[in-house]
Amino acid sequence: MLFDQITIVGVGLIGGSVGLAARARGVAGRVVGVDRDEATIAKAVALGAIDAGTTSLAEGVANSSLVVVCTPVDRITEVILAAAPHVRPGTRFTDGGSTKAGIVSALQGKLPANVEYIAAHPLAGSEKAGAEYGRADMFQNRVTVVIISKFGADWERTVAVGRFWEALGSRVVLMNAEEHDRTVAVTSHLPHAVASAVAGVTPTEWLRLSAGGFRDVTRVAAGDPQLWAAIFEANRDATLSALAAFTDRLAEFRKLLEAGDHAGLVQWLTEGKKVRDALGT
């Protein structure tokens, strides 16, 4: 057991999965959930994702040595700042947010002495929302990025948070916040924008002719628009850079197609295939 008690703030898909994994693997003696919605708390208790829950942030974090914030990305900073005065000395905060640099910067120098935020991003999830879609194996063999802070977070506490995510089944990768945000802009945020664009140009009456390719490409477009708008806004500059690179790449394809350049098209497609093949199944 790594922690006597942990608190999860936001017991939806990711928060619920953290709770299910922590309880199944004996990572914590007790798992407390905090959510603004009493029905969500009751559901999480019934599903076995948490031992108990409350709508009071101060009450929920008071006796935990680790607080995992799994709210939408645009609420993470305010939640940590609101919770920090109520935690005991030595408490660590971590999170499941998809962007990191803005949060790390916003919290720099704002937390009480002997309380630290170790940013993290589990690269796991689904287009679904809610604890009912959570799984105890959500993080199994999935990468979780743990951020090495340029503001000097204690190394031992960083390692301890990394061990927490490993105990949930993750493969931990250490990275700085800016590199993380540039990378996920291409590997996560751009694909979501492209999926939404493809879905958006498709008349619904054509869906009867769609097959596996359309479903694969557009799956993530079914995600929560409010949540994803906040992610795009939080990682605006990196996402705009990724969009510029994508637009340039697509312009190359258009030129080759307009010119009837068969060999060029094959080469263009081959370059993309090589990258996809490197990913594996």
Average pLDDT, the chain: 94
pLDDT of residue 39: 95
Per DSSP, helices labelled H in the chain are: 13-24, 38-47, 57-61, 76-83, 101-107, 155-167, 177-184, 190-200, 212-218, 225-234, 236-259, 262-279
13 shares a domain with 151: yes
Q: Tell me what the mean pLDDT of segment 54-76 comes to.
A: 97
Residue 268: Cβ-neighbour burial (10 angstroms; 0-12, 13-18, 19+):
middle
230 shares a domain with 166: no
Question: Per-residue pLDDT for 207 more than 70?
Answer: yes
**Do 22 and 163 touch, CB atoms closer than 8 A?**
no
Domain that holds residue 243: 180-279
Calculate Rg over the CA atoms of the chain: 21
Tell me which residue of 163, 154, 232 sits closest to 196, measured CA to CA.
232
> What is the CATH number for 264?
1.10.3660.10
**Do 139 and 164 touch, CB atoms closer than 8 A?**
no
19 shares a domain with 125: yes
What is the distance between the alpha carbons of residues 132 and 11, in angstroms, rounded to a whole number? 10
191 shares a domain with 64: no
117 shares a domain with 233: no
Select from 110, 144, 175 the last residue of a domain: 175
Measured in residues, the chain has a length of 281
pLDDT of residue 280: 84
Helix (H) or strand (E) holding 33: strand 28-34
Helix (H) or strand (E) holding 89: none
117 shares a domain with 29: yes
35 shares a domain with 127: yes
Select from 175, 192, 210 the last residue of a domain: 175
What is the distance between the alpha carbons of residues 281 and 278, in angstroms, rounded to a whole number? 9
Domain count, the chain: 2
- Enter the DSSP assignment of 70: -
pLDDT greater at residue 79 or residue 125: 79
> What is the CATH number for 55?
3.40.50.720
Query: Quick one: three-class SS letters along 140-207?
Result: CCCEEEEECCCCCCCHHHHHHHHHHHHHCCCEEEEECHHHHHHHHHHHHHHHHHHHHHHHHCCCHHHH
Residue with tokens 């720099």: 108
State the amino acid at position 141 in one-letter form.
N
Helix (H) or strand (E) holding 111: none
Q: Could you read off the pLDDT of 102-138 as tens digits, one per residue?
A: 999 999 999 998 899 999 999 998 777 889 999 999 9
195 shares a domain with 110: no
Residue partners of 233: CB distance under 8 A and separation at least 6: 74
Select from 175, 193, 211 the last residue of a domain: 175
193 shares a domain with 248: yes
94 shares a domain with 60: yes
Tell me the percentage of the chain whose pLDDT exceeds 90. 90
211 shares a domain with 274: yes
40 shares a domain with 113: yes
Q: Could you read off the pLDDT of 155-185 as tens digits, one per residue?
A: 777 888 999 999 999 999 999 999 999 999 9
Residue partners of 229: CB distance under 8 A and separation at least 6: none
**Do 95 and 253 touch, CB atoms closer than 8 A?**
no
pLDDT of residue 153: 62
**Do 242 and 190 touch, CB atoms closer than 8 A?**
yes
Question: Per-residue pLDDT for 151 more than 60?
Answer: no
